[in-house]
Structure 1
Amino acid sequence: MTNLTIITEFLLMDISSSWELQVLQGLLFLVIYLGAMAGNLLTILVIVTDPHLHFPMYFFIGNISFIDVCSISVIVPKSIVNSLTGRKSISLEECAAQIFLYTFFASTEFAFLVVMSYDRYIAICHPLHYGLTVTPQVCAQAAGGSWASGLLYSAVHTINMFRFPFTKSNVIHQYFCDAPQILRISSSNIQFSESVLLPISAGILLACFIFMLMSYVKIFSSVLQICSVEARNKALSTCTPQLAILLSFVISGSIAALGPIANTPSLKNLLTAMFYTMLPPFINPLIYSLRNREINSALRRLYQKYSEFPKRVLLD
């Protein structure tokens, strides 16, 4: 009878072999993390404090910004600490929590993108029915459904991945607990059940993507028929940021799902993981601030409000 060693800890083996490279990687991750946190928290602050943004679209944007704050915080702080301290290990429980939370936030964000495409479709293609269709109650139900669907999806996959002990290897060729890497070292039972679950998930995601694509096709068809240049530009300014974020999410997700599972650490593997774990939370606030007129105006009002505060204090 063969004795099997049950793994309770994993080793995160990335490309940083020397201490200098580890510190450089840690500092790079820190800059990206601080930039993403600052941009998303500022977006949330503007949406919450500015009455001009108390509309359904910005309610959904605020949720996505909050999700981006949470998703990047699941992975990057731990990676920064590991890089700066030289620590490579992560416990089984921490790994399971990391996969559960990251999958939860990623799938919830995708659900919100579906909801936002429908919101923009109603607002532009059926503006007279918008106030009756997209009510505060509907927004709350859509948000609750998005969070619930993300929780269910993440729970199913995480429970399936960790329901059997790991006995093959404890080496993960990545700077965090990446789901494909966990599947690489998991038992054949888990790999078989995931091979059943993944096509079902892919079918649901594909149906949602087709729905969003059709929504944006109809949206841009309606926008191009608007005679007023100002009205057309205003409509485009509310749609193009969401479309850009959708594309960045889909591209990064496709790279994560369809890319080959690395058996050795490599720069390509590191950059690919950075693209889908760090890039969307980092660039989403930039896309909104550059393309959305209302958020731009709200940012200017917020800046003027706080820049004038010291003057009022001195005058008082």
Structure 2
Amino acid sequence: VSPMIPGNRTQFTDFILLGFSEKPYQQGPLFGLFLGMYLVTVVGNLLIILAIVSDSHLHTPMYFFLSNLSIVDICVVSTTVPKMLVSILTENKAISYTACLAQMFLFMFFIALDNFLLTSMAYDRFVAICHPLRYGAIMSPRLCGLLVLVSWVVSFLNSLLHSLFVTCLSFCTNHVIEHFFCDLAEILKISCSDTLLNYALLYLVTGVLGMLPLTGILFSYTQICSSILKIPSAQGKYKAFSTCGSHLSVVSLFYGTGLGVHLSSFTSHSSWKSTVASAMYSVVTPMLNPFIYTLRNKDIKNALRKLSTRTSSSQ
């Protein structure tokens, strides 16, 4: 496919994704590292999904959101890592214009979805701890489904808007993307069109879709901490906070690495540093989430143990 790019009508077939390194001796270790992280992410998140589906005790709002988060984490890494692994194996760093736009769209879509699901989970914890007697009535299956549906719709519209604006850009001579996937900010850098509107949209939407969910999460945890401090017994306080520990860890990791990506793009002129920061955000975080939830969550551990026992007894 040789797309017509609007503007100066430049025709080209491919973008070139530089990845992490062009040095031949580093390709093998890079391939092994990212293949290992990809497999751990997929298997870890699949195990959480299977554990939740197979155990009726986990058919609650909290684990409904967690299973959705695990699905999205698999999708995030599957959007970027397989293409990079194929590029290393075949020594072909080219990606078509259409495939690049599709990758950019999907990555933005799933990252935004991750963000909204973490916010829904914070609201779930807020209701569970601050309004325990009304929890069942408030967190109804209908509300949980609605929260997930709204998350999907808003994330889709956000990605679609950015993608439509990118299709209006021209690309003249520089088709080299200094990244391991088609990141929107990197695509804007190599366009020879006026990208002021694209950047304005990027900063506006990132600010709104970043700050609103974060504000919701911070508000939820402010109320949660206030309620926990009112619990008289130390054991009661620990039990209440332990239900939030895993989610709080995942939120800190998600926003911490996300902030690292944005700071590195503003403060560092090194494309390598920005690429590493993005890898931490988009590959390492989804890989660590299953570990955080299994190591800190007795219910998930018990469900996995039952699943393992059931699997071994059926063989």
What TM-score do the two structures reach when normalised by structure 2?
Answer: 0.91
Structure 1 residue runs of 4+, over 4 Å off?
A: 261-265
Q: Give structure 2 stretches of 5+ with no counterpart.
A: 1-7
Secondary structure at 2:171 match in 1: coil
Offset from partner CA, 1:113-163 (integer Å, 9 cap, x none): 111111110110011111111101111111111111111111111111222
Q: Offset at 1:239?
A: 0.6
- Which of 191, 194, 198 aligns to 1:193? It is 198
2:251 is equivalent to residue 269 of structure 1: no
Three-state SS of the structure 2 residue aligned to 1:278 is helix
8 Å Cα contact 1:27/1:80 also seen in 2: no
**SS of alignment partner, residue 174 of structure 1:** coil
1:214 paired residue number: 219
Greater shift, 105-114 or 296-305, is seen at 296-305
Match of 2:4 in 1: none
Deviation at 1:207, TM superposition (A): 2.5
> Pick from 195, 204, 208: which aligns with 1:203?
208
Counterpart secondary structure, 2:16: strand
Contact 2:44 2:287 in 1 (8 A): yes
CA contact (8 A) 1:183 1:190 kept: yes
Question: Structure 1: how far apart are the matches of 2:271 and 2:262?
Answer: 18
Letter in 1 for 2:124: D
- In the alignment, which residue of structure 2 is the partner of 1:252? 257
**Partner residue of 2:290?**
285
| Change in CA separation of 1:186 and 1:197 when aligned onto 2, cut-off 3 Å | same
CA contact (8 A) 1:19 1:86 kept: no
Number of aligned residues: 307
Following superposition, the deviation at residue 249 of structure 1 comes to 1.1
Aligned to 2:133: 128
Q: Structure 1: which amino acid aligns with 2:163?
A: T
One-letter amino acid matched to 2:308: Y
CA distance in 1: counterparts of 2:262 and 2:173, whole angstroms? 22
Runs (5+) with no aligned partner, structure 1: 311-316
Quote the offset at 1:15 in angstroms: 4.0
2:42 paired with 1:44: no
Closer, same or farther: CA 298–229 of 1 in aligned 2, 3 Å: farther
Counterpart Cα distance in 2 of 1:102 and 1:307: 37
2:163 to 149, 154, 158: 158
Structure 2: how far apart are the matches of 1:130 and 1:279? 33
CA distance 1:125–1:198, change in 2 (3 Å) = same
User: Could you tell me how far 1:200 is from its partner in structure 2?
Assistant: 4.2
How far residue 17 of structure 1 moved from its aligned partner, in angstroms, is 2.3
For 2:269 and 2:15, locate their aligned partners in 1 and report how far apart those are by CA, in whole Å.
15
The residue that corresponds to 2:25 in the other structure is: 20
**Aligned CA-pair RMSD:** 1.9
Tell me the SS of whatever aligns to 2:265. coil
Contact 1:108 1:146 in 2 (8 A): yes
Deviations for 1:65-115, whole angstroms, at most 9, x for unmatched residues?
000011100000110111122111111011000000010000011111111
Q: Which letter maps to 1:247?
A: S
| SS of residue in 2 equivalent to 1:189 | coil
Which residue is equivalent to 1:116? 121
Distance 2:81 2:116 in 1: 23
Provide the C-alpha distance between the structure 1 equivalents of 2:147 and 2:130, rounded to a whole number of angstroms: 20
Residue type at the aligned position of 2:230: Q
Residue 190 (structure 1) shift: 3.1
Gap change, CA 1:309 and 1:61, over 3 Å in 2:
same
* Aligned mates of 1:26, 1:188 — CA distance in 2: 35
Any idea what SS the aligned residue of 1:284 has?
helix
| Greater alpha carbon shift after TM alignment, 40-49 vs 15-24 | 15-24
Residue 231 of structure 2: aligned partner:
226
- Verify: 1:91 aligned to 2:91, yes or no: no
Give the % identical residues.
38
